[in-house]
Amino acid sequence: MNADADGQDALFNLVLDDGGILRLIWARGASITEADAEAAMAKVNALSGTSRHPMLVDMATTADVSRGARAVFGRPCQASRIALLGSSPVDRVLANFFLGIHKVPCPTKFFTSEPDALAWLSVAPTPSSAP
């Protein structure tokens, strides 16, 4: 996992916005390992606490996602619904490949438009306590 000068994770940025949407943005050219995926999902769960939230994952500039990372992303977390945001046909192929071979733990869909992704996320139930 990469860290910046302050020891903070430099491979991704994760925030819970004012609308209750988790926004996970991977760094340009990121090669995501299993450890990186574990760190991101741990932060998703820590930031969410006992509430579940819709999540926008910006994967537009991701270079590679390891098999181990894909397995981690297939596990349940505090995301109630996930919109994968990409920008190219390659991103779409990668997302569709992942969605086709993994049983995803919550509704997950690929988008090339952030407004469309946010609209889809907004139809999800409001955040609630996890079962």
CA–CA dist 29, 101 (Å, integer): 24
Compute the distance between CA of residue 58 and CA of residue 83 in angstroms, rounded to an integer. 8
Within a domain: 8: no
**6 domain residue, yes or no:** no
Report if residue 129 sits inside a domain.
no
Q: The tokens 């990469």 sit on which residue?
A: 2
Q: Is residue 131 part of a domain?
A: no
Establish if 62 belongs to a structural domain.
Answer: yes
In a domain, 127, yes or no: no
Residue span of the structural domain in which 114 resides: 13-122
Alpha-carbon distance of 71 to 101, in angstroms, equals: 10
Q: Which strand (E) or helix (H) includes residue 20?
A: none
Helix (H, G, I), strand (E, B) or coil at 23: strand
User: How many domains does one find in the chain?
Assistant: 1
Q: Is residue 27 situated within a structural domain?
A: yes
Is 33 inside any structural domain? yes
Mind listing the pLDDT tens digit of every residue in the chain (131 residues)? 444 434 445 799 999 999 999 999 999 888 999 999 999 999 999 999 999 999 999 988 888 888 898 889 889 999 999 999 988 777 777 777 677 666 778 898 989 999 999 999 998 454 444 44
Q: What is the CATH number of the domain that holds 116?
A: 3.40.970.30
Element (H, E) at 126: none
